[in-house]
């Protein structure tokens, strides 16, 4: 079916992805254990998952923030690069945008027909392949594999093409991440693009003019601007987290908390708490009032964290959502970071999105047979 709803579930005969485990001669729980064993064997040979850090917290699985609501099986995002998993945007509870290689689609969680909002497939010379997606209010932003970017004003009439340009012509110019934020001085919507050519660029979405190109020593994989617009967390192909001045790009604090390259960062609505996720399979949380040591060090059991998001203020109990590369999203209690709820499925995570209302979240599961966008609602 186009949509799987909670009232359609029948245990091992029909799960949240429509899988009939009983007909396969097993149970969902047994399949989950086998999947965990497979990843454990991979980690022994490929070594992405590391031993727990001494400071790592063991989280109690006692929280119950969310429950499965429905899954739109017609929305299957395409992961162009295995390390880049930010290909889903939710501008509201009913407006989803996801990337499928050379196209970006608008879809509804209830399974209504999707529509193409960005189509680069018709460019026969240098078509943009989407590797990063972001959006807020009226703007949808995309970054591409060969240094492209695109900006779409969602208030324009249907059929209006996005503005397309080049961030860089560098051979190593893949766009690793993009995010939108409001400039604290002008109030204008801006977009920050993180590129593999070791630069972070700031674009004014209204004028399509670049206002800054901030150089770094290594490729930048992700950035998160604080709600106040004063600071920015910058992470990349290095072990440190750089807390920088959002305007000048100057490093204010360097945090040495990971042992491998870092690919995810998120700032909480309180403007104080910042979280990062790395290929060492750890999520590290810092309090901006005390940079000297982390507030919490949390492990991810199956694979490394690829996408992080804090729930909006006023949306219920505070939570940090941490999406692993595969199968799991952890909803971590964001007060003391001592307990969590793990929400599991089968497939690669292509994106994690929290709508502005914050009364649920969406996760894009990329799988040729059982992929789609899953929606979880607050309990």
pLDDT digits (tens, 9 = 90+) for 249-296: 999 999 998 999 999 999 999 999 999 999 999 999 999 999 999 999
Q: Residue 58's pLDDT is what? A: 73
Total domains in the fold of the chain = 1
CATH number (domain holding residue 124): 2.130.10.10
The answer to whether 166 and 175 have CB atoms below 8 angstroms apart is no
- 47: pLDDT strictly greater than 50: no
Report the range of poorest mean pLDDT among 123-127, 157-161, 256-260. Answer: 157-161
The answer to whether 201 and 155 have CB atoms below 8 angstroms apart is no
Q: Residue 49's pLDDT is what? A: 47
CA distance 201 to 303: 30
* Residue 276 forms part of a structural domain: yes
Altogether, the residues listed in the chain come to a count of 379
* Residue 186 forms part of a structural domain: yes
Residue 313, Cβ density class (10 Å: 0-12 exposed, 13-18 middle, ≥19 buried): exposed
* Residue 17 forms part of a structural domain: no
CA distance 103 to 108: 16
Report the range of poorest mean pLDDT among 62-66, 148-152, 210-214, 271-275. Answer: 62-66
Nearest to 152 by CA among 89, 78, 93: 89
Question: Residue range 337-359: average pLDDT?
Answer: 96
Domain that holds residue 75: 48-378
- 146: pLDDT strictly greater than 90: yes
* Residue 15 forms part of a structural domain: no
CA distance 19 to 32: 13
At 56, give phi and psi (nearest 5°): -70, 135
3-state secondary structure of 96: strand
CA distance 333 to 322: 11
* Residue 2 forms part of a structural domain: no
Q: Residue 53's pLDDT is what? A: 54
Using pLDDT thresholds of 50, 70 and 90, give the confidence band for residue 59. confident
* Residue 12 forms part of a structural domain: no
- 46: pLDDT strictly greater than 50: no
Mean pLDDT over each residue of the chain, to the nearest integer: 93
Using pLDDT thresholds of 50, 70 and 90, give the confidence band for residue 42. low
Q: Residue 41's pLDDT is what? A: 61
Using pLDDT thresholds of 50, 70 and 90, give the confidence band for residue 57. low
Report the range of poorest mean pLDDT among 63-67, 111-115, 143-147, 234-238. Answer: 111-115
- Provide the token pair at 98: 């996801």
Question: Residue range 152-168: average pLDDT?
Answer: 90
* Residue 227 forms part of a structural domain: yes
- 338: pLDDT strictly greater than 70: yes
Question: Residue range 3-27: average pLDDT?
Answer: 96
Rounded to two decimals, the pTM is 0.94
Q: Residue 170's pLDDT is what? A: 93
* Residue 197 forms part of a structural domain: yes
């Amino acid at each position: 079916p186009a949509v799987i709803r909670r009232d359609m579930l029948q245990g091992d005969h029909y799960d949240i992805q429509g899988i009939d485990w009983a007909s396969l001669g097993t149970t969902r729980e047994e399949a989950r254990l086998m999947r965990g064993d497979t990843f454990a064997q991979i980690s022994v040979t490929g070594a992405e998952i590391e031993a727990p850090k001494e400071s790592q917290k063991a989280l109690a699985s006692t929280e119950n923030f969310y429950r499965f609501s429905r899954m739109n099986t017609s929305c299957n995002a395409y992961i162009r690069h295995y390390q880049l998993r930010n290909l889903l945007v939710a501008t509201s509870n009913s407006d989803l945008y996801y990337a499928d290689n050379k196209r970006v689609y608008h879809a509804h969680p209830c399974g209504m027909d999707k529509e193409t909002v960005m189509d680069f497939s018709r460019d026969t010379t240098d078509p943009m392949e989407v590797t990063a997606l972001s959006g807020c209010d009226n703007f949808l932003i995309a970054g591409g594999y060969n240094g492209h970017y695109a900006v779409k004003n969602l208030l324009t009439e249907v059929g209006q093409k996005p503005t397309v340009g080049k961030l860089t012509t560098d051979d190593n110019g893949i766009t690793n991440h993009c995010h939108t934020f409001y400039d604290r001085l002008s109030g204008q919507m801006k977009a920050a693009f993180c590129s593999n050519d070791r630069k972070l660029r700031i674009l004014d979405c209204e004028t399509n003019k670049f206002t800054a190109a901030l150089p770094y020593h290594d490729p930048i994989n992700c950035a998160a601007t604080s709600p106040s617009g004063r600071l920015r967390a910058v992470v990349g192909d290095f072990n440190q987290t750089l807390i920088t001045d959002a305007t000048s790009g100057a490093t204010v604090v360097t945090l040495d908390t990971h042992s491998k390259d870092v690919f995810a960062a998120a700032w909480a609505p309180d403007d104080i708490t910042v979280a990062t996720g790395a290929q060492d399979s750890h999520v590290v949380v810092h309090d901006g009032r005390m940079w000297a040591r982390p507030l919490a060090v949390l492990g991810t059991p199956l694979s490394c964290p690829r996408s992080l998001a804090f729930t909006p203020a006023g949306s219920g109990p505070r939570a940090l959502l941490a999406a692993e590369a595969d199968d799991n999203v952890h909803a971590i209690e964001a007060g003391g970071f001592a307990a969590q709820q793990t929400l599991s499925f089968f497939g690669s995570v292509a994106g994690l999105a929290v709508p502005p209302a914050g009364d649920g979240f969406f996760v894009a599961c990329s799988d040729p047979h059982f992929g789609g966008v899953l929606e979880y609602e607050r309990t």
